[in-house]
Structure 1
Amino acid sequence: MNRIDMLNNGLEATTHLNECLQVDQEHLFKVILTPFCNEQLLNKMLSVMNMNNTASGILSKMKIIGKVLADTFVSYNIQDEIYRCLSQHISDTARGWACFILPEKKPPLSLQELLIQIQPYAKDNHFGVREWAWMAVREKLCSDLTVSIELLSSWVTNPNPYIRRFAVECLRPRGVWCKHITELKTQPDIALPLLEPLKNESEKYVQDSVANWLNDASKTRPNWVSDLCERWVFESNTEFTKRIVKKAMRTINMPHKGK
């Protein structure tokens, strides 16, 4: 069995983005779900997935699969068993599906409950699962930014750098592969409780997220970002802060044609 077959049959985890994109999610879905349901129910789920998958992007597929699983098994006694199987699966794609089940749960989880349940994925050892974690909950967090930022403010002081990074990455104004957050593009200051504690962050993984957040904001509020970065360097003139600021200011400092 070759490498791609191993991934498609849920026998190994991916090691880089290209492998993530190559996984045949429909085949993997059949492999994992067949022990839990009969052929008729499996085909019904696959039909719903294909009918709703109007976009070909991987994020769209992940969202649809999470919703199909949540909707299908809400009235079955095996719902928790299936979720437990996915959450502990060796396949990072399967663990990603588990992430996307959470915002679709019925009855809906509160924002606090959602964050509690997504945290294991936010600190998963696999890079892909950590990305699926914030993408899965971003939309629900955006439904009430005030509460979300308040809840996440304790995450940015967590000893685990993956948790700190999640708290920033999930609410980037122009997050990768997802819808922009207009309120944070125009009023980035409301997210200061997530940014200020990390101005002297030592982990590059977290530094990059903070810098990218500010770079996002600089495209709509350049003066605000410039002023903040200037203050940060004044208050914390360390190599860590300097690196964050340099990366955060890259769009602002980019040479413009015609000058």
Structure 2
Amino acid sequence: MSAETPALLKDILGPRALETIADAGSAASPRFDRGVFLRAASDGLDALSIMERVRHIADALHPALPGDYGGRLDILRAMAPRLTHGFQAIAITEYVARHGLVDFDASMEALADLTRFGSAEFAIRPFLAADTPRALTAMTRWTGSDDEHLRRLASEGARPRLPWAARVPALKADPTLAAAILEALKADTSLYVRKSVANHLNDIAKDQPDWLLARLAAWPQGDPRTAWIVRHALRTLIKKGDPGAFALIGVGHGAAVLVRDFAITPATVRLGDRISISADIVSDSPDNQPLVIDYRIHYARAGGKTAPKVFKLKSFELAPGAAATIRIGQTIRDFSTRRHHPGRHEVELIVNGRTMATAAFDLLPN
């Protein structure tokens, strides 16, 4: 691989990682079959994505680990401190996910230990699906731990829409199931934990927005840690212009402002070019106004259709009669989640949830 070629995420679990895991297994138990593991783990590895590799490595551990399930857990726990990357440890936790329902409580205790080395958020999902109340009882208890990794697992593992993870329909249908976890962590001292709580709440916003708004309205925001969570938890609803979400962060829906010279430059681009989005915002109010400014690009699609996406731009307070210039740049390039099509791209400037100005740029075919 050249210096200019970016590393693929899946290569985190490449041949060198397999050697590290094999070394950890041999150090943890003289009965660990290093050769069996390496042959099984290497077979077909190249074609797999990162999470497929996690599952593949977990399966390769099965014939290499000696003894009964309880003894295997002891070996895995001894292996974890010898690993050199979090995804190696995630592969270890995946073994527990795939085989651990035979001893629910011991497996949950093992995940609580292993999450320090690589988050067990994915591995805990089968336990939540198999016995949601039993798993959540343990996870709620974890919120009182001194270990921020374990407190985060309580929130992250129970997220209704955890990326890359198996769905647990009960959590998506009923956010009250994990509400005690969120309550316990709503002013957590760790930013690592608070980010998880905010993401968990933002998941709920996508399915149960009314429940979320009612819950957060009952949270006192005098603690800046809670206020931070609330603001980040509402990001999806704020992008949608939900008046209740704006009210919770102390911002009115809409603003007394004038928007001047809203422009997208250049007006014509090709894939890989960079656009600049700019405008002047002028207060038309005798009072200070908190402003949350976003922009929405309507991406051209085949057949004349469009796909809108909202981006954050800036949040600030505008004094009476004052003016502010806002400007942001964005490179028009493809991502795995977004492919561009030639055509006209409308852009809206959104102030406190309301569209205040529109402009556009044209993407030419390469």
Calculate the TM-score normalised by the size of structure 2.
Answer: 0.54
**Cα 1:185/1:72, change in 2 over 3 Å:** same
- Say what the alpha-carbon RMSD is for the aligned residues: 3.2
- Paired amino acid for 1:68: A
**Cα distance in 1 between the residues matched to 2:74 and 2:178:** 37
Cα 1:185/1:97, change in 2 over 3 Å: closer
CA shift, 1:174, in A, is 0.4
Partner of 1:247: 232
Whether contact under 8 Å (2:19, 2:38) holds in the other structure is: no
Secondary structure in 1 aligned to 2:184?
helix
Pair 1:22-2:11 in alignment = yes
Task: Give the alignment partner of residue 122 of structure 2, picking from 125, 131, 135.
Answer: 135
Q: Which has the larger radius of gyration?
A: 2
Matching residue of 2:111: 118
Other-structure match for 1:179: 166
The one-letter amino acid paired with 1:136 is: A
C-alpha contact (below 8 Å) 2:101/2:127 kept by paired residues: no
Unaligned runs of 5+ in 1: 1-17
What is the DSSP-based 3-state SS (H/G/I as helix, E as strand, rest coil) of the residue aligned with 2:219?
A: helix
How far apart in 2 are the matches of 1:141 and 1:107?
11
Go from structure 1 to structure 2 and tell me whether the alpha carbon gap of 1:81 and 1:185 turns closer, same or farther (over 3 Å shift). closer
Structure 1 residue aligned with 2:150, among 163, 167, 177? 163
> Which amino acid counterpart does residue 158 of structure 2 have in structure 1?
L
C-alpha deviation, 1:230, in angstroms = 0.7
Which runs of structure 2 are paired with 1:1-259 in the superposition (5 Å)?
Answer: 21-29=10-18, 32-33=21-22, 36-37=32-33, 41=36, 45-46=40-41, 50=44, 56-73=48-65, 83=76, 86-92=79-85, 93-105=87-99, 108-110=102-104, 112-124=105-117, 129-130=118-119, 133-233=120-220, 236-255=221-240
Compared CA separation, residues 181 and 54, structure 1 to 2 (3 A): farther
User: Partner of 2:266 in structure 1?
Assistant: none
Name the CA shift for 1:55/1:139 in 2 (closer, same or farther; >3 Å). Answer: farther
- Please list every run of 5 or more consecutive structure 2 residues that lacks an aligned counterpart in the other structure: 1-6, 27-31, 242-295, 297-353, 356-366
Hey, what's the Cα distance between the residues in 2 that align with 1:123 and 1:150?
A: 20
Q: Is 2:115–2:150's contact at 8 Å kept on the other side of the alignment?
A: yes
Structure number with higher helix proportion:
1
Give the SS at the match of 1:197: helix
* Partner SS state of residue 216, structure 2: helix
Q: Which residue of 2 aligns with 1:6?
A: none
1:154-193 C-alpha deviation (Å, 9 max, x unpaired): 1112122221111000110000212333222221011111
Question: In structure 2, what is the Cα distance between the partners aligned to 1:87 and 1:45?
Answer: 20
How far apart, CA to CA, are the structure 2 residues paired with 1:227 and 1:168? 19
Shift of 1:87: 2.1
What displacement does 1:68 show?
A: 2.6
- 1:239 offset after TM fit, Å? 0.9
Following the alignment from structure 1 to structure 2, what is the Cα–Cα distance between the partners of residues 95 and 113? 18
Distance (Å, rounded) in 2 between the aligned partners of 1:84 and 1:22: 24
> Which of structures 1 and 2 has the larger relative contact order (alpha carbons within 8 angstroms, sep 6+)?
1
Using the TM superposition, give the Cα deviation of residue 84 of structure 1 relative to its aligned residue in structure 2, in angstroms: 5.7
User: Is contact 2:37-2:61 (8 Å) kept?
Assistant: no
SS in 2 for 1:251: helix
TM norm structure 1: 0.74
Aligned length: 229
CA distance in 1, matches of 2:222, 2:73: 50
